[in-house]
Structure 1
Amino acid sequence: MRLTKILWVHLLILAHAALLFAAGPVRAAEPVRQVVQLNRAWTFTLGDPAGAETDDHADRDWQQVNLPHSFSLPYFLGPNFYVGYGWYRRSVVMDQAWRGKRLTLEFDGVFQDAEIYVNGVKAGRHRGGYTGFAIDITRQMRPGSNTVAVRVNNLWNAQLSPRAGEHHFSGGIYRDVRLVATDPVHVAWYGTFVTTPEVSPERASLRIRTEVENTAGTDHAVTLVSRIYTPEGRLLTQETATRAVRAGATEVFDQQPPAIRQPSLWAPGNPALYRLETEVRRDGRVADRYSTTFGIRSIRWTADRGFFLNGQHLYLVGANVHQDHAGWGDAVSHAGARRDIGMLRDAGFNFIRGSHYPHAPAFSRAADELGMLFWSEAPFWGIGGFGGEGNWFASAYPPNPDDRPGFEDSVLAQTAEMIRIHRNHPSIIAWSNGNEYFFSAPETMDAVRAFVRRQVALMRTLDPTRPAATGGVQRGEVDRLGDLAGYNGDGAALPAYLNPGLASLVSEYGSTIASRPGAYEPGWGNLTEPPDQRGSAARYPWRYPWRSGEAIWAGFDHGTIADIDFGKMGMIDYFRIPKRQYYWYRNEYRQVPPPAWPGPGQASQLSLTADKTVIHGTQGHDDVQLLVTVRDAQGRALSNSPDVTLTIERGPGEFPTGRSITFRHDTPVDIRDGQAAIEFRSYYAGKSVIRASSPGLKDALLVIRTEGPDPYIEGKSPLARARPLVKYPALARREPGAAPGNVVINRPTAATSSAPGRPASMANDGDDNTAWQAAAADDHPAWSIDLENIYAVHGVAVLQPGQAALAYTVELSLDRVQWQPLTPAQLQAAQLPPGLRARFVRVRFASPAGAVAALSEVRVLAVPAAEAPPL
């Protein structure tokens, strides 16, 4: 039977090849692959109404929304957002050309549990908020109109990753949706993988692996044609292969075209992109066409000499980037992602760490096109000071053994989806398994390390061309479990991680809380004078020869479940206006002098400008960034910050708040230092007239034109409704009535000095038997800790080893500038007086006069400031 099957397959292939030869040119059925964007014209409601998946469900009272969309629209920073269910519905008309086709819905991201229904029938489900997925709806579709309904929830789930993280977790279909119609024999979802095993300026070898899926009921002989085009669009090479693909199976075609001579190597200064055009033929016709962009470049991470791109050493100078923008939250347009990357590139950065989950395909594509190196991260994530189960303050890894198999499957599934979706992007130079997952219950750490080994093995298997990195691994003995380690915060200076013997970088440094405009400084003294290199003559003394790079925390302000101010650590604010810190880096890295800072004056008028005045397309991929500036009569920019309102007077479009938005100083919708900004979208073609106004000032007008289908018709096209800010209930971070907890374990520490083998981290490792010790020559020893949140402090305990205790002072601070000492009576009290809030705690010792300062453990009992009763 087996021999007969093999002979039949060979005969089928030979017959197919003879048919192609005899028939001459292949007949192309156009279009062979049809992609229909589905971002427009959805209805939406919060809650979980019964029967919402059915055709006849009454949704006339639901909101009219477009994608990308967030449950919590509008969102302007802060720890509170809607948690629960939401439903999306829209109609899809079956095209006659789709008969006999395979139909799939492709989602780029839904947070975080999505159930998809077509005409009342459940077609599929996906769990995981940061990776795309495809749902086959061929059997559910019918001629005429079809109802697509999506039930989404963003409920915390003990078995779903992430269980914790310092961001916000708003629900919604916050990335693109499209319907794809293909022949039953087609290239699988993200089914191409182009690698460049050997790269030099003289030649580059290629390997193309293409997955061809056959969902037909019969076997087919398939011919695959792969054409490579240069960045200029010239056909470079063509490879053809024929093989049988059985019914219901997926076959991988492995092709190795001739080497490319004098390739244009992708790099930050030369973001050259080649194109692979894949053609699938069966039965004498073209069944599918699929396009893949890729770059030719080589990467090498070394333990002793850092990072190399195309054989040349390159120090990575980067920033961490979350995916959310003012008002729109996580629902960011393609243009918004591109602007973010462009702002960092223009300041002289060459590297982005994607914090702390896979970003949208549009983000990776923009990184390719703009020449920005990118670290892509899986959502295995921890947050310090975790409470009990039930929200994103939980242990990163499940304490309950019953939850572990499901959770591990969730992490591995999203890791695999991340790699599959993004693997052809030359900008991506590392896959990271997560961030700071050592913030797990202590009893789970052996299981955490075992799981990290398993995850790293999967990453290496799925893509052996990039290192499997471990992210934020400055604690927990997890940094050596992968190929590349990223150390956050004090991990850059702890002795255990200095020249660690494997490739490494500083994956987070910095973290200065500042509202715009902020100070003209880097925001982190260690950049120019790290603790272990004080007095060094080097310009950047911590850029050791073995270190691959560094990424500031953070590029942009972002939403967070921590205190609202804790999200203001970006060098660019939430509205995408640079703080002065941004200009410090731009001057330092690109030698571009900072602009003149605005000052107070007699405000006379407003100006309203945009990054461009044309929006291309009506599917929400493009938008414009509006900037309003307060000016005097001569046109000089002022720092005055009166209330300013933007209003759409005529035409299509919307702000996150609807048809108008008002900026008020010291509110979530803020105007500061004389400027305010917001992103404007339009889902209809036409001209939009926008007015900026402020009492007593001359107005400004701006016209934005949207090009594309779906024309705006005055009086008929629906207008965006007003969306007021909603104050959602705060997340319950701990068990009700729980006592203040010790919030220092594994937090970043610093000290004026450390004796060999006695680093500062030993005073907050939870072990009374280990101790930080100052160097013998340190005449003014001090130890400090960053609590990485703003806390209401209830008590501080200081433990010193040995019998001879030294006198010390404990101080609290919010900014490392102003310090508030605690009195001896306060330290001895069972509870500190209310109102003591801190992010930093410092212990300073009196001159020891021959004695050596040491701390075996410091404990800070506190609750998050957002949880504390109002004063």
Structure 2
Amino acid sequence: MFKQLLSCLLLTLLLALPAAAQQRIMQSINSNWLFRRDEPQSTVATAATATNWEKISLPHTWNAHDVLDDEPGYYRGTGWYQKTLQVPASWQQRRVYLYFEGANQEAEVYVNGQLAGRHAGGYTAFSFPISQYLKFDGEKPAGAEVLVKLTNRHNPDIPPLSADFTFFGGIYRDVYLLAASPVHFDLDNYASSGTFVTTPAVSAEAAEVVVTGAVSNEAGQARRLTVLTQVLDAAGKTVARQQASLTLKAGEKRPFRQALPRLKQPHLWSTTDPYLYRVVSSISEGKTLLDEVTNPLGLRWFRFDAARGFFLNGQPLKLIGTNRHQDFPGLGNALPNALHEQDVLLLKQMGGNFLRVSHYPQDPTVLQACDRLGILTSVEIPVVNAITDSEGFFQNCRTMQTEMIRQGFNHPSVIIWAYMNEVLLRLPEGVKRDNEPGRAYLKKVNQLAQQLDDLTRREDPARYTMCVNHGAFELYQEAGLTKIPQLVGWNLYQGWYSGQLQGFADYLDRHHRELPDKPLLVTEYGADSDERLHSFRPRRFDKTTEYANAYHQFYLKAILDRPFVAGSMVWNLAEFSSETRQEANPHMNTKSLLTADRQPKDAYYFYQAHLLKTPFLRIGSRSWNLRSGPAAGPDSLFCRQPVEVYTNQPAVRLQLNGRDLGTKTAEFGVARFSVPFGNGMNQLRAQAAGQPGEDMADIEFQLLPANLNSSKLPFTELNVSLGDERTFTDPQLHQVWVPEQAYAPGSWGYVGGTVYKLPGERLPYGSDRNILGTDYDALYETQRVGLTQFRLDVPDGEYEVTLHFAELEAAPAAEQLVYNLAGSTAASATPEAPGRAFIVLLNGQALPELSTATSLRPLQAVSTTVPVSARGQRGIIIDFQARTGQACLNAIQVKRRW
């Protein structure tokens, strides 16, 4: 509320200033908007008289919450925004614009009932002049009723058509009101600054700076003007200047070009020293300043080499960084600028030097932060998965590419403009690679790529072009998409979606062998990791932290071992929304180095150990600070579990509660220990051997007795995930679910049955479907089928048993997501089952029948809690008696009451 009031106050003060003091005003107008969802056929007339508006402030999205619920899909339709502006009378002779940093994805903007403009595409800025719609009455302010009709519907002529991210609707970035003198730098140049800074030649000895643009005279008479450009250093001192005089007729727009005097011994911009100059361009008439624009200037030169990688300012530099999406939990994509900046800072703190701004241009704050912090970038338009063979689609792509380049032109952090991502991943219906429609489609994709590449080189010949492909090498070769761009990016997931880890290294070598003259970047790689899931036998696609750790350790080594790999970008910086995804964490893509709320995962620390130049030491699995496991033996009071410590130091010494566990040599940034955790709180203390610096972590351990009748370690509680090899930790309920085990006398476990597994090799066990009615999908996605008993040899006493079920077979069809690379993209269902009905007996007490005809609905979480008495040293015996099909159990909890 304070921020909104302050914004309104600043706007009021600015609007009250005398006209002579105003050259150009640009002020956000994010506060006090109204919003309502509406029908697609609604008009400005019906919207203006509608009721039931919701009070909101920008940034805003209407999909902040429905993308995370259990209902398939999310609202992709029409929304209206409304705001009332009071434009001061002193602006009558000014040129007034509405400037939108981004609104997804088709916008119509009305002012006082009249259409000011339309814009297609959700990820680039746009602006419309509105002076002609303002009606002034003498010295009274002009009222401006702004209505914005917006839709995020699917439109085959607007990219993206489909993608592994959510297409949030709304005015989700800032909106500004801009007022300029009738004489001004070009305000109608694709929402750019209207001035463009180039550096034709830069070296350590000297730098050339050229500024181009256009000056518009919308006054009613000719004007004699001076255009002045100055370069200011970081201290504000003018280090170069150039001016020109020109006379513009009324209504004339004229381009200009100013080459400034060479800067000698320039302070270069680099990733370790991101020094910024400022370029200030102004228009004056006599001593009166009419307009002024400021742009950042970073003096650097760079090149890519197919054999030796990337060079910045003549020095080799391995580009290591991440991709980034623009959403945050609870906010959708409507982020305040501070959260955009925080993401770039987190990348810098990791030691990264590169950001692939994927898969679309993002908030201007992102590139501004990259300029300041020294992060090199690639930016791309959202042509993802496929194209539409239509002139409308091609034209929108060309317009987006132009908008992206001109709006981001003056950012020194940008070194690559890209235009396609995995565009052959989803072929249209009926199109196959080897049929005539397929060949025609590949030809159209090639034509679009060539048009976008040619356009980019015309717009900005100083930067590189890139097309990003998925791992179908021959297909992209056949389409010519490895030949057109200057750089080729590969999104590679060997050892995750398919194959073995070694396939990644083999793929890099193949590119270098078959495309020896084409520089290579690994533009995506990653493995999903749910911070709640852990395994000491990690397997591909199990979503555990441990598999993701092994994956990143293999990939980074392969990248660093190959000088010809210019750079690599982890997919992704942080977990992000992908509404169509199901699996253990529904509606989210969890391939990332940070959780959705930006908490580091182990892999983040691993990269810090390799990228930071200062001493670094960090105990891994810090978020796994609640663990459990069985005691090492019947009389043991500890459980051994592995712990990794990430460091750039040679060796690490580890202590547990003050007891020395020894010193381990760090191998590729990782020192590995086997830690004997005891029941209760365990404090780990790591020190770099012979070096200053240490790290500490407190881990609470719930030790399970190996013998449930142990007097040394009394039984209190057990939570088991059936059909599972992973540990699931629930910090909210303070529970740890351990993987199943077979029953052994004196202990606990299942008797009989098999692990449920979907056909195919992608999942090691369990299902990949969203389980309804629960936040613990991972527990319900695995089960043991055909078991006859579950036994616990607990002491006599009173217990509470909770049984968890979910019907995983005969599930309704669901789209097979194309990015899972599981074959067909058609609808698929889990195998048909003949139905299931069974009885559960707890120590002989029968529960009501569980049946797919009644209580066991497909993909629906079901649980029941039953008090049980253990008597006569018999423990707890849970019998499963199948009547139709096989009995199943997904999870079980047993808790001693007294």
Q: Secondary structure at the match of 2:330?
A: coil
The answer to which of 547-556 and 517-526 deviates more is 517-526
CA distance in 2 between partners of 1:547 and 1:786 (Å):
31
Aligned to 1:335: 338
Aligned to 2:523: 507
CA distance in 1 between partners of 2:487 and 2:829 (Å):
36
Aligned letter for 1:472?
N
1:218-233 superposed matches below 5 A: 218-233=221-236
CA distance in 2 between partners of 1:437 and 1:170 (Å):
21
Q: Give the Å deviation of 1:161.
A: 1.4
Q: Give the Å deviation of 1:514.
A: 2.4
CA distance in 2 between partners of 1:28 and 1:126 (Å):
31
Aligned letter for 1:99?
Q
1:558 aligns with 2:576: yes
Are the structure 2 counterparts of residues 356 and 541 from structure 1 closer, same or farther at C-alpha, using a change threshold of 3 Å? closer
1:392-407 superposed matches below 5 A: 396-398=386-388, 401=389, 404-407=390-393
1:575 aligns with 2:597: yes
Q: Give the Å deviation of 1:258.
A: 1.0
Aligned letter for 1:563?
R
Aligned to 1:141: 134
Aligned to 2:870: none
Aligned to 1:159: 157
Instruction: Find 1:171's aligned residue among 156, 169, 172.
Output: 169
Q: Secondary structure at the match of 2:576?
A: coil
CA distance in 1 between partners of 2:171 and 2:831 (Å):
30
The answer to which of 64-73 and 243-252 deviates more is 243-252
Q: Secondary structure at the match of 2:367?
A: helix
Q: Give the Å deviation of 1:70.
A: 0.4
CA distance in 1 between partners of 2:290 and 2:824 (Å):
66
Aligned to 2:548: 523
* Higher alpha-carbon Rg: 2
Q: Give the Å deviation of 1:282.
A: 3.4
1:106 aligns with 2:131: no
CA distance in 2 between partners of 1:586 and 1:254 (Å):
44
Q: Give the Å deviation of 1:865.
A: 7.5
1:458 aligns with 2:449: no
1:291 aligns with 2:317: no
Aligned to 1:863: 827
**Contact in 1 for aligned 2:815/2:827 (Cα 8 Å):** no
Q: Give the Å deviation of 1:372.
A: 1.1
Are the structure 2 counterparts of residues 674 and 33 from structure 1 closer, same or farther at C-alpha, using a change threshold of 3 Å? farther
**Contact in 1 for aligned 2:323/2:356 (Cα 8 Å):** yes
**Contact in 2 for aligned 1:352/1:551 (Cα 8 Å):** yes
| Superposition misfits of 4+ residues, deviation over 6 angstroms | 49-52, 634-641, 672-676, 783-787, 789-793, 818-821, 835-841, 864-869
Aligned to 1:318: 321
Aligned letter for 1:166?
D
Q: Give the Å deviation of 1:51.
A: 7.3
CA distance in 2 between partners of 1:332 and 1:318 (Å):
22
Instruction: Find 2:400's aligned residue among 409, 414, 434.
Output: 414
Aligned to 2:199: 196
How many residue pairs were aligned? 613
Q: Deviations for 1:178-197, whole angstroms, at most 9, x for unmatched residues?
A: 01100121112421111112
Q: Give the Å deviation of 1:267.
A: 1.3
Q: Deviations for 1:494-532, whole angstroms, at most 9, x for unmatched residues?
A: 3652352211211011233424576666827565546xx
Are the structure 2 counterparts of residues 867 and 380 from structure 1 closer, same or farther at C-alpha, using a change threshold of 3 Å? farther
Instruction: Find 1:307's aligned residue among 304, 310, 313.
Output: 310
1:585-624 superposed matches below 5 A: 585-590=607-612, 592-595=616-619, 597=622, 599-600=625-626
1:343-492 superposed matches below 5 A: 343-382=346-385, 396-398=386-388, 401=389, 404-439=390-425, 440-441=427-428, 442=431, 443=438, 444-472=441-469, 474-475=471-472, 476-477=476-477, 478-489=481-492, 490=494
Q: Secondary structure at the match of 1:584?
A: helix
Aligned to 2:84: 91
**Contact in 2 for aligned 1:373/1:427 (Cα 8 Å):** yes
CA distance in 2 between partners of 1:592 and 1:117 (Å):
55
Q: Secondary structure at the match of 1:271?
A: coil
Q: Give the Å deviation of 1:220.
A: 3.4
1:210 aligns with 2:213: yes
**Contact in 2 for aligned 1:263/1:296 (Cα 8 Å):** yes
Are the structure 2 counterparts of residues 165 and 865 from structure 1 closer, same or farther at C-alpha, using a change threshold of 3 Å? farther
Aligned letter for 2:254?
E
1:120 aligns with 2:144: no
Q: Deviations for 1:694-732, whole angstroms, at most 9, x for unmatched residues?
A: 99xxxxxxxxxxxxxxxxxxxxxxxxxxxxxxxxxxxxx
**Contact in 1 for aligned 2:279/2:296 (Cα 8 Å):** yes
Are the structure 2 counterparts of residues 50 and 57 from structure 1 closer, same or farther at C-alpha, using a change threshold of 3 Å? farther
Q: Give the Å deviation of 1:360.
A: 1.2
Aligned letter for 2:93?
G
Q: Give the Å deviation of 1:420.
A: 0.6
Are the structure 2 counterparts of residues 601 and 456 from structure 1 closer, same or farther at C-alpha, using a change threshold of 3 Å? closer
Q: Secondary structure at the match of 1:339?
A: helix
Q: Give the Å deviation of 1:586.
A: 2.0
Instruction: Find 1:67's aligned residue among 39, 46, 58.
Output: 58
Q: Give the Å deviation of 1:636.
A: 9.0
Alpha carbon RMSD of aligned pairs, Å? 4.1
CA distance in 2 between partners of 1:469 and 1:861 (Å):
27
The answer to which of 356-365 and 192-201 deviates more is 192-201
Aligned to 2:633: none
Are the structure 2 counterparts of residues 860 and 57 from structure 1 closer, same or farther at C-alpha, using a change threshold of 3 Å? closer
Are the structure 2 counterparts of residues 142 and 508 from structure 1 closer, same or farther at C-alpha, using a change threshold of 3 Å? same
Q: Give the Å deviation of 1:784.
A: 7.4
Aligned letter for 1:63?
E
Aligned letter for 1:455?
L
Q: Secondary structure at the match of 1:286?
A: strand
Aligned letter for 1:148?
V
Are the structure 2 counterparts of residues 574 and 859 from structure 1 closer, same or farther at C-alpha, using a change threshold of 3 Å? closer
TM-score normalized with structure 1 length: 0.64
Q: Deviations for 1:522-553, whole angstroms, at most 9, x for unmatched residues?
A: 827565546xxxxxxx9546642221011111
Aligned letter for 1:555?
L
Unpaired runs of 5+ in structure 1? Answer: 1-26, 383-395, 531-537, 603-630, 642-665, 667-671, 677-693, 696-743, 745-782, 794-813, 822-831, 842-856
CA distance in 2 between partners of 1:840 and 1:90 (Å):
40
CA distance in 2 between partners of 1:151 and 1:267 (Å):
43
Aligned to 1:278: 281
Are the structure 2 counterparts of residues 97 and 582 from structure 1 closer, same or farther at C-alpha, using a change threshold of 3 Å? same
**Contact in 2 for aligned 1:55/1:147 (Cα 8 Å):** no
Aligned to 1:731: none
Q: Give the Å deviation of 1:471.
A: 1.6
**Contact in 1 for aligned 2:814/2:827 (Cα 8 Å):** no
Q: Give the Å deviation of 1:244.
A: 3.6
Aligned letter for 1:469?
M
Unpaired runs of 5+ in structure 2? Answer: 1-17, 188-192, 432-437, 495-503, 535-543, 629-679, 684-695, 703-720, 722-727, 735-758, 771-777, 786-807, 833-857, 861-898
Are the structure 2 counterparts of residues 267 and 77 from structure 1 closer, same or farther at C-alpha, using a change threshold of 3 Å? farther
CA distance in 2 between partners of 1:56 and 1:125 (Å):
17
Q: Secondary structure at the match of 1:434?
A: strand
Q: Give the Å deviation of 1:601.
A: 9.8
Q: Give the Å deviation of 1:50.
A: 8.0
TM-score normalized with structure 2 length: 0.62
Instruction: Give aligned-pair identity as a percent.
Output: 29
